[in-house]
Amino acid sequence: MVFPTHKKFKSLDMFDYDAERLRVLITEVSRLNLSPEAWTWLSENLSSDDTKVINTAFAVMPRKTGKSPVQISPDLISNIDQVKPGFTIENWTVDKLGRLCLLLHLDPSGQDKYFKTIENLFLAAEVSELVALYSFLPVFAFPDLWKLRCAEGIRSNIGPVLEAIMYHNPYPEKYLDEKAWNQLILKAFFTDKDINQISGIDERSNSELALTLKDYAYERWAAKRKINPFLWRFTTKFLDESLVDDLKKVLSEGSLREKQAAALTLAHSGFSSASELMKSYPEFLQAIKSNEINWARLAPDNENFN
């Protein structure tokens, strides 16, 4: 089968990456992962510009492809990351892969039709379809058009949907404004998500978020509730004397995991009072310098912070 080339895919006013290259890679991974019957069926739908055909194919994808894990070589993983940094299909299932392949073959030359086709999929989607669609945000054409859709997803209370937006998804970091970005981070703390899996948390740190999280920490303490130690990471660039005093308290009274988080925050801040305080904790300083302690390697803690 000859696939439509859509030469305009490479236009930077439509995409912020080489969309034609990614389309080729995802098509190849799909072909390798689908059964001959499933691949034939998908191939027959890839060149369609009929919205009804696309909607139907998207909806029935799991029945046609199954839901087995995607098998992908390290080289292909690397190639995808080179084309669209931060985007990955690792740990996906083949139905999700097939849905991405289908949508990557949409013709973006008509912006209104392209947007409406995908937006209508969002509006009609059940949970697994929403998870897929939000995971695809980084690779849709006209990335600025999806800011409101992303912000709407952050308001969801459906765990897998939030994780699709937050985890290993480069779209929020690059395109959300500060208010929406801060809301994403707050929602991550409110719903006890794995902060380490959110792209851009250090690059997008800001003083307003640091202040909000500081107030949130005080509320938790006043209610005698635990604080997720990753909260302090977002204050690193914005320490003041008050926050240093707060972290001094954590170093004195917290669990090992909490103390490590406080030490990382203080050590990486560059704030003079923080540096002075850390002189009293040489064991933490040494562990940080040797990379025995970092944000990805805090002491284990099974506590739920809700």
218, 180: one domain: no
Q: Are residues 220 and 209 in the same domain?
A: yes
pLDDT at 300: 82
DSSP 120-177: HHHHH--HHHHHHHHHTGGGSSSGGGGHHHHHHHHT---HHHHHHHHBT-HHHHHH--
pLDDT value, residue 136: 98
Same domain, 193 and 238: no
The verdict on 118 and 255 lying in the same domain is no
- For residues 211 and 69, state if they share a domain: no
**Domain end (from 203, 218, 247):** 203
**Among the listed residues 25, 131, 28, the one whose alpha carbon sits nearest the alpha carbon of residue 81:** 25
Taking the C-alpha atoms of residue 166 and residue 177, their distance in angstroms, rounded to an integer, is 15
Domain span holding position 188: 1-203
Same domain, 67 and 193: yes
Query: What number of residues does the chain have?
Result: 306
Query: Splitting the chain (306 residues) into consecutive groups of 10 residues, what average pLDDT does each group show?
Result: 44 84 97 97 93 97 98 96 96 98 95 96 98 98 97 96 97 98 97 96 97 96 94 97 96 95 97 96 96 92 57
Long-range contacts of 121-124 (CB under 8 A, 24+ apart): 121/55, 121/58, 122/149, 124/55
Q: Same domain for 82 and 215?
A: no
Determine the Cα–Cα distance for residues 258 and 4; give it in Å rounded to an integer.
54
| Res 3: pLDDT | 44
Say whether both 180 and 209 belong to one domain: no
The two structure tokens encoding residue 140: 């849709």
Do 20 and 37 have their domain in common?
Answer: yes
Pair 166, 249 in one domain: no
Q: Are residues 186 and 90 in the same domain?
A: yes
Among 164, 184, 203, identify where a domain stops: 203
Which of 182, 203, 224 is where one domain is finished?
A: 203
Burial per residue of 72-100, b for 16 or more beta-carbon CB atoms within 10 angstroms, e otherwise:
beeebeebbeebbeebbbeebbbbbbbbb
CA distance 105 to 120: 17
Residues 160 and 305 in one domain: no
- Count how many domains the chain has: 2
